[in-house]
Amino acid sequence: MAVAARNKKSARRRQLEAAINYPIDWLEERSGLVGGIKYFIFRKVPGDTNWFHTLGSATLTAFLVQALTGAILAMYYKPDPQSAYQSIQHITNDITLGWLVRGMHKWGASVFIILMFFHMARVFLFGAYKYPRELNWIIGVMLLAIGMLEGFTGYLLPWDQTAYWATVVGINLNGTAPFLGPFLADFLRGGAEIGGETISRFYAMHMLLIPGLIFALIGLHLYLVIRLGVTSPPWSSAAAGSEAAGEEPRTNGRSGLTQPAARSGWRRNGGEG
């Protein structure tokens, strides 16, 4: 049938298709990107994935919104003690749509952190952190930690009383860590006391260092998600090992907490285990 349909295509249509395919083929031949994206979009996932599996992508979306709105806020924000507060007031009260973009960034920060916790809760409750996904849990914990560091460094930037004293308390809290705490506190402040140094280094960390690190870790995180596949829910009828009739459950000699999670997509996508 497909053949018949193809034969009916007019010359014009074939020409059009060739014109559309040409750049795609060009890109694919030189980069393999098209095949890669197809693999990503059409990879196998368990049939009973559900809405809870979207929490990770929701977190990713929240982060991308932060990155975009943050980059735009940086065009108007002035990170020095004399003008930081005024520039924030200017963004909120005077600049067209400034209130909106600042609001998105401010509220979005909380959304990002909350979604991260929801996503973590789903991974925990589904047992999706078990073999072979422990490493992705560990990367996730790093993302959680530096995600909160991102929030901490951003909180100082409005440079109002709340920002200032919250940062005083937050830095001193870090200072009470045993052994290296006092040095960590000095490093964060850029000296013995909070001052102009503190706001510029918080800005640099908030704008460049930490987001870069988060992007890199998200890349690793998603690489592992794609390589290992996602887990089906614990109530899945297709539990570990039962998909192929008569096969022993493959537990890799592990039991209890380190047992493989239910029905690994990893195997279905060609992995072993």
Partner 1 sequence: MTEPQHGDRPHLPGPSLYPIAFAAGVACILVGLIVNPKIIVPIGAVIAILFGFLWARDATEEFRGEPVHAIEPESGGPPESTDAPAIPANQGEDAMPAPEPGERFPRNRFLEGATLGLGAVIGGLVTVPAVGFMIVPAFKGQGYPKVDLGPLENFTEGRWFVTKFFMHPGSDGEVSHRTAYIRNNGQLDGEPSFTIISNRCAHLGCPVQPNGPVQDNQKKEIDGKAGQRITMIPVIPAGGYGCPCHGGQYDVEGNRVSGPPTRGLDRYEFSVVDGHLILGKPYSVTRVDGEGKTARIHKYKLAGPGQHVDGWEQILYPLQPPH
Q: Which residues bind ligand HEM (CB under 6 A)?
A: 53, 55-57, 59-60, 63, 116, 119-120, 123, 128-129, 133, 136-137, 140-141, 143-144, 147, 218, 221, 225, 230-231
Number of chain residues interacting with partner 1 (CB under 8 A): 34
Positions 150 through 209 that interact with partner 1 (CB under 8 A): 165, 168-169, 171-173, 175-176, 178-179, 181-183, 185-187, 189-197
Smaller CB separation from partner 1, 179 or 235: 179
Structure tokens, 268: 């279905």
CA distances from 184 to 189, 201, 213 (A): 9, 13, 19
Smaller CB separation from ligand HEM, 53 or 102: 53
Task: Name all contacts of 146-151 with Cβ < 8 Å and 24+ positions apart.
Answer: 146/210, 146/213, 146/214, 146/217, 147/112, 147/113, 147/116, 147/214, 148/113, 149/205, 149/210, 150/206, 150/210, 150/211, 150/214, 151/109, 151/113
What b-and-e string marks burial along 79-91, b requiring 16 or more CB atoms within 10 Å of the CB? beeeebbebbeeb
* Min separation Cβ 151 and partner 1, Å: 18
- 213's contact among partner 1, ligand HEM, none, with CB below 5 to 8 A by partner kind, is none
Smaller CB separation from partner 1, 85 or 118: 85
The closest of 45, 61, 63 to 53, measured between CA atoms, is 45
* Min separation Cβ 82 and partner 1, Å: 7
Smaller CB separation from ligand HEM, 77 or 112: 112
The closest of 202, 176, 178, 177 to 188, measured between CA atoms, is 202
- 120's contact among partner 1, ligand HEM, none, with CB below 5 to 8 A by partner kind, is ligand HEM
Write out the residues near partner 1 by the rule CB under 8 A: 18, 21, 24-25, 28-29, 34, 81-82, 165, 168-169, 171-173, 175-176, 178-179, 181-183, 185-187, 189-197
